[in-house]
Amino acid sequence: MKFSKLSQLFLVSIIGLMVASLLTSCEIVTIDYLFVASSSGSGTASAGQIETYDVDSESGAIRPGQPSVPSGGANPVAMAVSSDYANLYAANQGNNSVDHFSVSGSGVLSNKDNITTASAPVALTVGPANTYLYVISGTTSATLTAYSLSSGTIGSAVATVPLSLSSVSASFAGDTLIPTGVDVLANGTAVYVTAYDQSAYNPGGSVSSTANPGWVFGFAIGSGGTLTPIAGSPWKAGIKPSALVSDPTNRFVYVTDFASNQLIGYTVQSNNVLDFMVNGPFKTGNQPAAITIDPRGLYIYVVNELDSTVSAYIISLSTGTPSAAVNTTGSSLNATDTEPQAILVDPALGRFVYTANHLGNSVSGFMLNATTGTLTGTLSAPYPTGDAPTAVASVPHGNHSTQSVTP
């Protein structure tokens, strides 16, 4: 059967439209922007960079997005995002700085301002109302500083608190505390800091103190950003606490103990006093380095630096007790690339988990089963990054709703 030229042209047009429709349906639909802080070179003095990746809404696979930007200094170690996802903050140990970036709707980062800290910043977080930035700093001492925020811009310090064990015992007042993490309750009433006493725990070196090595410090947040020690603070936290996180309902706080391979759970009592969970601590992999809770408050994920794995836990909403989530493989440990140091759950749908792998120069991705909490690797993971990534942050793309839970 022969076709006229007009019929042939019509047929070609139809086929072209069908192919275009098929290609469009296969395109990545970006659900989140993932930011990764890494070094742009191999030397310790190399400038840091923040790379941007697009997260596919269906598979969780990531691909390079907007061009990377300088982190503002050397050796970026931590990042935090404001609750409105409009601002990102990066802590750079190489030049004792914290840089503020605005985040556009297309994931573009623009450096807006920065501050210089008195000592090397270690970790930072933003209060839920986006009015204060909390920075913990020091490599031979520990200081918590609250900075005012105005439309994302970092202002002056409104509170500066050196951490000390003098309230535990006068004989511990001169001990050297090394800070490791900071977290603010979702209701904005308290901030907690983890630190370990190097005078009491110093592998390969001498010790001069009989104090318990690991601690959690708690401070009530008052008018104007004032910080007041919470009654009973600090609380013991194993040997070498490495990170901490609170659940979105303000009822539980969890701390990873790098030295004893444990997860320590606390319940938040009245006036934000912490009390040990009676059935803890809980087993992790070797050298747990970072921790996150999914936005629904149902699952905990811990990266184990030495094992290069992620441990998954289900949270008992009545008691806060974390129990191992059994994967389809029969294991609660999920392999990453080498030496993961940071972890997050995507904020848009809470369906994907990502780790920054320091020695692997990569990001590992997992799909989160919202019913069971188990993880399965995402397509083509791990994904290559710049040198020695140390931190990850994420913002949702467009008007995708973020997840929350109210037990």
Structure tokens at 288: 């747990």
Indicate the number of domains in the chain: 1
Does residue 83 lie within any of the structural domains? yes
Cα 183 to Cα 6, 221, 276, 281: the distances in Å are 68, 12, 17, 20
Q: Is 18 exposed, middle or buried (0-12, 13-18, 19+ CB in 10 A)?
A: exposed
- Are residues 285 and 302 in contact, defined by beta-carbon separation less than 8 angstroms? yes
Task: Classify residue 192: in a domain, yes or no.
Answer: yes
C-alpha 9/C-alpha 386 separation (Å) is 49
Residue 335 CB coordination number (10 Å):
14
**235 inside domain:** yes
Residue 39's identity, in one-letter code, is: S
Task: Collect all residues with Cβ–Cβ distance below 8 Å to 33 and sequence separation of at least 6.
Answer: 52, 53, 54, 55, 65, 66, 103, 107, 394, 395, 397
| Residue 225 within a domain | yes
Please give the backbone phi and psi of residue 385, each rounded to the nearest 5 degrees, phi first.
Answer: -130, -170
Domain membership of residue 21 (yes or no) is no
Residue 406 lies in a domain: no
In a domain, residue 401? The reply is no
Using an 8 Å Cβ cutoff, are 170 and 238 in contact?
no
> Is residue 243 domain-resident?
yes
Q: In which domain, by residue range, is 186 found?
A: 29-396
What's the CATH number where 236 sits?
2.130.10.10
- Tens digit of pLDDT at every position of the chain (407 positions): 444 444 444 443 443 334 333 333 445 688 999 999 998 654 444 689 999 999 999 999 999 999 999 999 999 999 999 999 999 999 999 999 999 999 999 999 999 999 999 999 999 999 999 999 999 999 889 999 999 999 999 999 999 999 999 999 999 999 999 999 999 999 999 999 999 999 999 999 999 999 999 999 999 999 999 999 999 999 999 999 999 999 999 999 999 999 999 999 999 999 999 999 989 999 999 999 999 999 999 999 999 999 999 999 999 999 999 997 766 555 557 999 999 999 999 999 999 999 999 999 999 999 999 999 999 999 999 999 999 999 999 999 975 555 554 44
pTM as predicted: 0.90
Task: Please tell me the predicted confidence (pLDDT) of residue 400.
Answer: 55
Residue 403 is predicted with a pLDDT of 58
Using alpha carbons, select from 313, 303, 307, 326 the residue that is nearest to residue 392: 303
Q: How far apart are CA 227 and CA 218, in angstroms?
A: 9
